[in-house]
Amino acid sequence: MIKINYKTDISRFIKRELRKVVNAHNNCPVVIVGGDSPPKLCGHKFHYENKSGDIIRHVNAYKKAWGKPIYIHSSLHVEVGADWLLYDFTLEKLRLHKLRVFS
């Protein structure tokens, strides 16, 4: 029996295919979680905020008028269930899942 957790190293090919399914960038990390959930994109993109927590849409205009905006890093990642990887992972299933996501 193979023990799979969030530190398990899966191959580049599998990571690449999982990212393609959810239409994520190549540098997006793949996180293994418990359960049998199919791959999904979680987290938020990078953005700028002011000191009170409001999102800044036009950063350069804000810099000129009020000061320094705060950069918030991206937390985008692909989550996939460990049981799904062990028992349900096939390329055909990935293709069908991708068709369901984008239809």
- HSE on the CB side for 3, CA within 13 Å? 1
Q: Where exactly are the structural domains of the chain?
A: 12-101
Per residue in 38-90, pLDDT (tens digit) is: 899 999 999 998 888 888 888 877 766 677 888 999 999 999 998 888 887 77
Per residue in 5-39, pLDDT (tens digit) is: 666 666 777 888 888 888 898 889 999 888 888 89
8 A C-beta contact, residue 8 and residue 29: no
| Among the listed residues 43, 26, 41, the one whose alpha carbon sits nearest the alpha carbon of residue 80 | 41
The CA–CA distances, whole Å, from 49 to 46, 53, 76 equal 10, 5, 18
- The pTM score is 0.70
User: Looking at residue 41, what DSSP letter applies?
Assistant: E
